[in-house]
């Protein structure tokens, strides 16, 4: 009895790439499959779990998401949905990229889904030139080649520069 309460209150410490430490309740950490596997395989004995690829700002956001989703009961799906859209509302591309990277690394499927969907929704109506810049893609087309690809897909370009 006493031990189960203890387990519920168990906490672990996560350390961001820039050295900040976050004390996290275990049930919140379990939102991450990566952390869950670490805890299952008894890596929890380590005092601090380093997350060398995730900065403090991103980790704070990730843990905010995890806490909300860990605490909410399954009957509150509507509330979670509005939390999710509010959570991402004013986020810039850089922050969204960081979230996708962190969610992918920590294996938090729900967060990966909503952040990637937000990116997709943001770019879907942007001109391809802007998309190229957003993703830092090098344009390896010659102008002639690009024009040819564009001509093949002319129907999709109506209203675009």
Partner 1 sequence: MQDEQRGEEEKRQAIKEEKEKKITGSSGSGGGGEVPKAALAVELPNELVVLEVLTRLPVKSLMRFKCVSNLWRSTISQDPSFSKIHRAWHSPSRAGGFSLHIPTPMTPYSLRCFYATTLPSSSCPGGGESVLLPHQFTATASNSCSKYNGATDVVKGLFCLYADESFQEIYPPPKSSGSVYSEDGSLLLQFGGHFALVRGLHSRLVKQELKIWVLELNKYKQGSYEWINRIIEVPWDFPVRGCSFTGNLPLPTGDQIRSY
Binding residues for partner 1, rule: CB under 8 A, are 85, 93-94, 97-98, 100-101, 104, 112, 116-117, 119-121, 123-125, 127-128, 131-132, 135-142, 145-146, 149-150, 152-153, 155-160
Q: Which is nearer to partner 1, 34 or 101 (CB)?
A: 101
User: Least distance to partner 1 from the beta carbon of 137, Å?
Assistant: 5
- DSSP three-state, residue 68: helix
Q: How far is CA 77 from the centre of its chain?
A: 19
User: Least distance to partner 1 from the beta carbon of 36, Å?
Assistant: 21
Say if CB 87 and CB 50 are below 8 A apart.
no
Interatomic CA distance for residues 150 and 94, integer angstroms: 28
Q: Which is nearer to partner 1, 7 or 160 (CB)?
A: 160
User: Least distance to partner 1 from the beta carbon of 9, Å?
Assistant: 35
User: Least distance to partner 1 from the beta carbon of 73, Å?
Assistant: 18
Query: What is the residue-wise DSSP string for 86-152?
Result: HHHTT--HHHHHHHHHHHHHHT-HHHHHHHHHHHHHHHTTS-HHHHHHHTT------HHHHHHHHHH
Q: Which is nearer to partner 1, 37 or 77 (CB)?
A: 77
């Amino acid at each position: 009895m006493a031990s189960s309460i203890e387990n519920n209150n168990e906490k672990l410490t996560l350390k961001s790439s820039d050295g900040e430490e976050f004390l996290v309740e275990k049930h919140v950490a379990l939102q991450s499959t990566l952390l869950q596997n670490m805890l299952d395989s008894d890596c929890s004995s380590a005092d601090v779990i380093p997350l060398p690829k995730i900065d403090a700002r991103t980790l704070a956001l990730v843990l905010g998401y995890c806490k909300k989703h860990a605490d909410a009961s399954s009957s509150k799906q509507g509330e979670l949905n509005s939390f999710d859209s509010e959570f991402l509302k004013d986020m810039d591309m850089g922050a969204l990229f960081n979230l996708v990277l962190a969610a992918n690394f920590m294996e938090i499927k729900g967060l990966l889904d909503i952040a990637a969907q937000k990116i997709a929704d943001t770019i879907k109506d942007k001109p391809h030139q802007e998309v190229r810049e957003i993703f830092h893609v090098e344009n390896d087309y010659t102008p002639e080649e690009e024009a040819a690809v564009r001509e093949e897909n002319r129907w999709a370009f109506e209203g675009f520069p």
